[in-house]
Amino acid sequence: MGMVQDKVVVVTGAGAGIGRDFAKAYAAAGAKVVVNDLAKDKETGQALAESVVQEIRAAGGQAVAAVESVAEWDSAHRIIQAALDNFGRIDCVVNNAGIVRDRFLFNMSKEEWQAVVDVHLNGSFYMTRAAAPHFKGQESGSYIHMTSTSGLIGNLGQGNYAAAKMGIVGLSKSIALDMAKFNVRSNCIAPWAWTAMTAGIPAETPEQKARVEKLKKMESAKIAPLAVYLASDRAAKVSGQIFGVRANEIYFFNQIRMIRSMHRGDGWTPESIADEAMPAFEASFFENVPSMKLTPWDPV
């Protein structure tokens, strides 16, 4: 018996990379998988989702493809309906689908901003919303969302991506709070991995090139075990949390909390804030650095 035996799991963006590894890992652990992806093989024209389904079935697993966009309300609902039509229920939604349109903010177009937000943030909400009534009715379910250190910590040239990924963190926390009484859980994973999506990261400076070389050493399959665990009944007490995987390392992230406080009985003025509050807070300021600065060691 696998850890997610007979659970029905939808994995978005599962035609390649991290999503493909997730879909295969869930199937190997006993789940029935809906493999979602819009992309097609450039040479054969076959939907990548169909290829992954064939791999899973060849290995003895159960899977169906849903070649639909997560970035539209109706099509997101059709993805969830595919789980219900083929397997009779839905137990877990993995919001993994994503794109990048990297550009420094002073050059970023409206279209580049909108495309990334539509897939990552709006898509995560549409998929969440489509599954929520079913989770509520059966009083069980799990959401797993992919966030990023580009949002949690920061990164160059990814304002659209970082904003969407931090929005997903807020969405996950709201889901965990809103649906706790129905035994529905929601967690985030920040992955470090070399995939087709990360291959477009700018690499012009020596520092950026070093970052890319480290990413190339991080296998996307290493992230799948945590995703399988979070969908399992053994993770029943885990909700509203943020984790990360970097090769053989698993991270647990803190979340925003107040760390310093000052008050004045007669209230604040702009001048007293400048003279008293900011000097007191300054020792606790966070350095404004990209995420790779905080993980300078080689992947384990």
Catalytic residues: 161
Which of 46, 53, 37 is closest to 196 using CA atoms? Answer: 37
Q: Are strands 249-252 and 242-246 parallel, antiparallel or unpaired?
A: antiparallel
> Which residue intervals of the chain are DSSP H helices?
17-28, 48-58, 73-87, 110-117, 123-138, 149-152, 159-178, 206-215, 224-231, 270-272, 278-282
Contact (CB, 8 A) for 182 and 136: yes
Which of 155, 147, 152 is closest to 104 using CA atoms? Answer: 155
Contact (CB, 8 A) for 153 and 290: yes
**Token pair of 159 as six digits:** 């304002």
Contact (CB, 8 A) for 64 and 82: yes
User: CA-CA distance, 210 to 219, in Å (whole number)?
Assistant: 17
| DSSP code for 262 | -
Count of residues in the chain? 300
User: CA-CA distance, 72 to 47, in Å (whole number)?
Assistant: 19
> How far lies 283's CA from each of 65, 79, 102, 161, 268, in Å?
53, 49, 33, 30, 20
Which residue reads 């945590």 in tokens? 226
